[in-house]
Amino acid sequence: MEKRITCIVSGRVVMVMFRDFASRKARSLNITGSVENLEDRNVRVIAEGEEENLNRFIEHLNRGPFAARVARVDVDWGKSTGEFSGFNIIYS
């Protein structure tokens, strides 16, 4: 069953290729959504897919890329909306 997660990732997650990392992991797990840096230096991830794949994705987000130091990943679960056709990096 398709679900949706909204995650706020905090720690050293900006300027360490976190958005690219999240995008590659999402695509490998057949997850759609988006990732963006926030003004408070956190990263927001919105992702939709099968629950099992989303749980694996959350594990990846908790590790992050090599240069990142993830302090916390806050996750809110919800219903899939089907609004995404792929996984996009939002550049601001």
Name 56's bridge partners.
Answer: none
pLDDT at 72: 98
User: pTM of the predicted model, to two decimals?
Assistant: 0.96
Q: Cα–Cα distance between 71 and 79 in angstroms, integer?
A: 26
Tokens of 89: 């990096």
Q: Cα–Cα distance between 60 and 44 in angstroms, integer?
A: 14
Side-chain-side CA neighbours of residue 90 (13 Å): 13
Q: How many residues does the chain have?
A: 92
Give the tens place of pLDDT for each residue, 44-67.
Answer: 999 999 999 999 999 999 999 999
Given CATH 3.30.70.100, say whether it is the number of domain 2-90: yes
The answer on pLDDT for 92 being more than 90 is no
Instruction: Tell me which residues are annotated as active site.
Output: 19, 37
Give the tens place of pLDDT for each residue, 6-20.
Answer: 999 999 999 999 999
Q: Cα–Cα distance between 45 and 22 in angstroms, integer?
A: 8
DSSP 8-41: EEEEE-SSSSHHHHHHHHHHHTT-EEEEEE-TTS
pLDDT at 1: 83
